[in-house]
Structure 1
Amino acid sequence: MSDRYPVADLADLPEDLRERILAEQEKAGFVPEVFLMFGRRPAEWRAFFAYHDALMEREGSNLSKADKEMIIVTISGQNNCQFCVVAHGAILRIVKKDPYIADQVAVSHHKAELTPRERAICDFATKVNLRSDELGDADFAALHEHGLDDEDAWDIAAITALFGLSNRLANATDMRPNAEFYAMGRTPRQK
């Protein structure tokens, strides 16, 4: 982690941020570094996580949590964002119950073991991420073939855009994944 952008101290954050971070810590068992990095600027933290929650928890979407995490890992790999590949890769492994999927998708969704529907989602996200100016009717039609509508395309584009922002900030600030993320979802939990 760079000394240029030290993370915020949890004790110094506004109450609303501290409450949300402590809730995440309760759920995960640790505080993801991204919360403290964004905590340096509370107004931006609130805006980022409000949009994050609006997209990732939106009801009525045909995209599952696994689909959304797959989008994040796909484009984070393309953007060489170590933090997001590792952190969201952990979440993807857990929600898909597949210890290999995140590594495959981060390197190349074309070589990953995906369904045709999942591949179409990743293809669309990739085009939004790398060549959004080239999007056309055929790209939307490819989603429609898999039961995804224009609102789902919006979700894919919005998730791609938000995490494109996140990838760039993580890279610019040299944000590193918490060590806990690396092992999550790799082996079945002991009962």
Structure 2
Amino acid sequence: MSQLISRFPVPETIENLPDDLKGRILTVQEKAGFIPNVFLMLAHRPLEARAFFDYHDALMERESDTLTPSEKEMIVVATSARNQCLYCVVAHGAILRIYSKKPTIADQVAINHKTADISERERVMLDFAMYISQDVGELNSEWEEKLKAVGFTQEDIWDIGSITAFFGLSNRLVSLTNTPPNEEFYLMGRMPKDKA
């Protein structure tokens, strides 16, 4: 890749990083087959990178009451598109396609979740995520009733809000650093593995 990963210094080699961060990056590389650029960008400040990844994992990897991994990624794609974060739309769009097994869903959600081929539950969830992302974001009785009417629990509502807020931070850091998405993300989940 000829494009710079960040406008800030990134490690020339991951060997110089603290062992826990190096281990985390190597695990992702082994699983994905490449190192996502955001890991190298965030490694500019290892202490902050560690906190970022820990919070990411606490939100995205923990089992929610009823919120699915696919729905979590949908939140990231929709709000990142609204925040004009190409990296997160492309990277998390790939993960959404894989989790949902729907090759066009990420594109639809990124452009306009109101017309996307998603359920009413998911539409209400993304309406709420947009409200948190772009508006006051205060949970009131009206929103709580809407969300619970489509099956979300109080803890799910916390998760929707936390994921939206966390990725607002992520979107802004990626914009600040001008970090591009890895080219590998663009095709992930678009075709069955045996045809890729």
Same fold by TM (over 0.5)?
yes
Aligned to 2:10: 7
Aligned to 1:155: 159
Q: How many Å separate the matches in 1 of 2:75 and 2:44?
A: 27
Query: 54-63 vs 82-91, which deviates more?
Result: 54-63
Matching residue within 166, 177, 181 for 1:173:
177
Matches within 5 A, 1:72-91: 72-91=76-95
**Gaps (5+ residues) in structure 1?**
none
Matching residue within 96, 113, 120 for 1:116:
120
User: Contact 1:72–1:84 (CA<8 Å) still a contact in 2?
Assistant: yes
User: Contact 2:65–2:153 (CA<8 Å) still a contact in 1?
Assistant: no
Q: How many Å separate the matches in 1 of 2:129 and 2:78?
A: 8
> What number of residue pairs does the alignment pair up?
191
Matches within 5 A, 1:10-159: 10-133=14-137, 135-159=139-163
Structure 1 residue 57, shift from structure 2 partner: 1.6
Q: How many Å separate the matches in 1 of 2:118 and 2:64?
A: 23
**Gaps (5+ residues) in structure 2?**
none
Query: 12-21 vs 75-84, which deviates more?
Result: 12-21
Q: How many Å separate the matches in 1 of 2:22 and 2:177?
A: 21
- 15 and 2 in structure 1: CA distance in 2 versus 1, 3 angstrom threshold: closer
Residue deviations 1:144-168 (CA, integer Å, cap 9, x gap): 0111011111100000000000000
Residue deviations 1:101-125 (CA, integer Å, cap 9, x gap): 0011111111111101111111111
User: Contact 2:113–2:123 (CA<8 Å) still a contact in 1?
Assistant: yes
Structure 1 residue 35, shift from structure 2 partner: 0.7
**C-alpha RMSD of the superposition:** 1.4
User: Contact 1:127–1:135 (CA<8 Å) still a contact in 2?
Assistant: no
- 115 and 10 in structure 1: CA distance in 2 versus 1, 3 angstrom threshold: same
User: Contact 2:7–2:178 (CA<8 Å) still a contact in 1?
Assistant: no
Opposite residue 84 of structure 1, the aligned amino acid is C
Structure 1 residue 92, shift from structure 2 partner: 0.3
Structure 1 residue 185, shift from structure 2 partner: 0.6
Q: How many Å separate the matches in 1 of 2:42 and 2:137?
A: 29
Which stretches of structure 1, 4 residues or more, deviate above 4 A after TM superposition?
A: none
Q: How many Å separate the matches in 2 of 1:141 and 1:3?
A: 43
Query: 173-182 vs 142-151, which deviates more?
Result: 142-151
